[in-house]
Structure 1
Amino acid sequence: MVTLQTVAFAVLCLVAVLRVGSARSNPHARMSWLASVVGALALLTLGSVIPLGVLDGALGGTNLIYLVQNLLATTAFWLVLQAAASQESEDTPHSRRRYWVLGVILVAFSVAFLFIDRGPTSPTFIHDNVDQLAAVLCASIYLAGIGGISLQLMLAVRRRRLVAYWPFVVGGALAIVACINEIVWLFIAHAHAVDARTQALGYALFDPFFYLGVILIVAGILSFTVRKWNRETQMTLAIRQLSRITQRAGLTSATAEDGPATGGPQLSVAYDLLISIHDETVAGRVQLTARERRVLSRAEALVTRELGMAEAR
């Protein structure tokens, strides 16, 4: 399904571009950026952007591009798992970074690939060679790996209370369904258990499930970038408005004087400013205007929401 492949490729490229800045400054954002780059390269090998004949031709024209595609796609899914598990968390989930598991999957289907008697470039390479057990095993190991990583992805975010994690759960589920479907139909084809038309219908179920799953997962990563920008913008505005109140009142809060750049994380800065203003107001040393009370109320709601989100992570 070229349309879905192209959409998925475009979304991945968009995420890669938007997260360049975050990847430079935030180590926790580098996994999602790297996942989007590797994922885009994997989709590029499908031929929806650059003709498959050109890509595989550069590698000798013996369907070696299929192996490259599988290596990139598996690595991309694994990176997505790392990115999703560490999103908006101060601690990198080292326990999930089992590089040897990724290595075993990559080596396993690569070895099976070497035993396939390959012909000239074909977009349906595995389906064309389904009579060969090596081809069925190569594709099945690859798909089982993708399905297993997708399951880990769902388990990694299932306890998160943030609504933003639902694309990972739904996307992972769709990818698992697609992988199971393809594996089943590959073995059915290998056994010649059904006619060609039924077999084609079975194969056709893979693309809608798989690429919609990919799009949802990538959209989930993109949503964190958008949400982060939105929260930072709101918090910056709140800090600026609260600082004006402290300046007008002549408060000598170190946080207010130093500003967000040196006063610590934005949430801490806003919290300190709120406490300072509240204490002075309760003590009767500061009288707030109606507008300032509205500013204070909005800032309190924002800080309360951010604290709640921090607890939900």
Structure 2
Amino acid sequence: MIQTLVATLMWALVASLLIFRRKRTDRSITYAALTIAIAMTLNVDAAYSAVDRLLGGTNLATLIADALLMTGLFFLGRGVMKTGEYRPRLVRAAVSIPVLLVALLAITASFLLIDRGTTTTRFMIDLGAQPAAAVYSIINFTYCLVIVVAMLVLAIRQYRHNTGIQHLPAALLSLGSAFGVALCLAVIVMDVAHATGHLDLMHTIQSAYDPLSVLTFVFLCAGFAIQPAVRRAQHRARQRQTVALTAQLESLWHQATRARPGLSQADPLAASSEDPEGHLHRVIVEIRDAMIDPRITFDISTDDRDLLERAESHLVGSDSALATTSPVPYVEERES
């Protein structure tokens, strides 16, 4: 049941990423989600049994699923790292290709040493007492732990440096990564306890496995799914603010272009085809040109100068424009 829920969450994340991130050139997170979704699907009992039967019934599907999970986490870690400029050396090393390849070779070698028997959907429960199986699982989850710790470091860093609604995805990713760290540590302790015969300890920790799995994937999926939505909301808010600032400068702009005709008069078609920010930039430039042209006299009030500076700050990415600019009525309201 838990594996089905996790697989469903991952496929929902894949769908959302394909919809909202389809125009992005970096597809690391999308590849990661797809790879992990396949891995989680293979962990569903019915899917696992069917696939392993096709592979000879020797639990080879376990190795494939775990290798896919590790590869997916590799892409996930790289995707998180690329979202910011903070890339410490240890994090870069953790999400490097050599580390992934070494980990994959290590789990493959240890997997081949396990007396696997026939297909079982309870691989570690049935076979975890074997030292080779314990080593296999410990290597697997140690690699996962390294990647998740790297993601946690990056997510916390992003949370500290983000503002406003940008805190939300970083907070969700931080929580998901923290639960992921706890999950990996719990599995490693269970592996050691199982291999050394401390079954009471194993069963005690085992009760936390399912909740930690769900919490890890719920928060990570929510964090990655909400990132594009937050960016889109911010983009729309910025566009609205751009239009508002342009409308507030419209009267001053017309005065400036009457005093000193600019591109808007020389090539109206080109000027009208600009995007909102390009148009605002044109408005600011033509007002500034009129102010500094020694051939004419064009003075503006202190309020207009403040408005112009806020518009310039908005174009270069300052949030002060968003905070201080008063709302502008819709065109229909102004004309009524």
TM-score range, shorter chain: 0.7 to 0.9
Question: Equivalents in 2 of 1:237, 1:34: separation in Å?
Answer: 33
User: What pairs up with 1:183-194 in 2 under 5 angstroms?
Assistant: 183-194=188-199
Query: Which residue does the alignment assign to 1:141?
Result: 139
The letter of the residue matching 1:272 is H
Q: Select the residue among 190, 193, 213 that pairs with 1:210.
A: 213
Distance 1:46 1:101, change over 3 A: same
Distance 1:55 1:271, change over 3 A: farther
Q: 1 or 2 for the larger relative contact order (CA 8 Å, sep ≥6)?
A: 1
Q: Partner of 1:21: helix, strand, or coil?
A: coil
Query: Which residue does the alignment assign to 2:12?
Result: 11
Query: Which residue does the alignment assign to 2:295?
Result: none
Question: Equivalents in 2 of 1:84, 1:172: separation in Å?
Answer: 11
Distance 1:76 1:242, change over 3 A: same
The letter of the residue matching 1:15 is S
Q: Select the residue among 103, 106, 111 that pairs with 2:104.
A: 106
Larger CA deviation: 202-211 vs 3-12:
3-12
Residues 1:171 and 2:186 aligned together:
no
Superposition deviation, residue 283 in structure 1: 3.4
Residues 1:85 and 2:81 aligned together:
yes
Q: Select the residue among 47, 54, 71 that pairs with 1:51.
A: 47
Q: Partner of 1:52: helix, strand, or coil?
A: helix
Question: Equivalents in 2 of 1:278, 1:166: separation in Å?
Answer: 43
Q: Partner of 2:101: helix, strand, or coil?
A: helix
Query: Which residue does the alignment assign to 1:311?
Result: none
Q: Select the residue among 200, 219, 223 that pairs with 2:226.
A: 223
Identity of aligned residues (%): 18
Larger CA deviation: 5-14 vs 170-179:
5-14
Query: Which residue does the alignment assign to 1:69?
Result: 65
2:155–2:174 Cα contact (<8 Å) kept: yes
State the Cα deviation string for residues 151-190 of structure 1 (Å, max 9, x = none).
1112223322221312222211111111111111222122
1:270–1:303 Cα contact (<8 Å) kept: no
The letter of the residue matching 2:23 is S
Q: Select the residue among 36, 41, 59 that pairs with 1:39.
A: 36
The letter of the residue matching 2:151 is L
Distance 1:271 1:122, change over 3 A: farther
Larger gyration radius, structure 1 or structure 2 = 2
How many residues are paired up? 287
State the Cα deviation string for residues 116-163 of structure 1 (Å, max 9, x = none).
111222121122012211111001100111011111112223322221
Distance 1:213 1:307, change over 3 A: farther
Superposition deviation, residue 232 in structure 1: 2.1
Query: Which residue does the alignment assign to 2:319?
Result: 305
The letter of the residue matching 1:152 is A
What runs of 5+ residues in structure 2 fail to find an aligned partner? 265-269, 292-297, 323-336
Distance 1:271 1:201, change over 3 A: farther
Question: Equivalents in 2 of 1:277, 1:19: separation in Å?
Answer: 37
What runs of 5+ residues in structure 1 fail to find an aligned partner? 309-313
Question: Equivalents in 2 of 1:278, 1:224: separation in Å?
Answer: 37
Larger CA deviation: 241-250 vs 216-225:
241-250
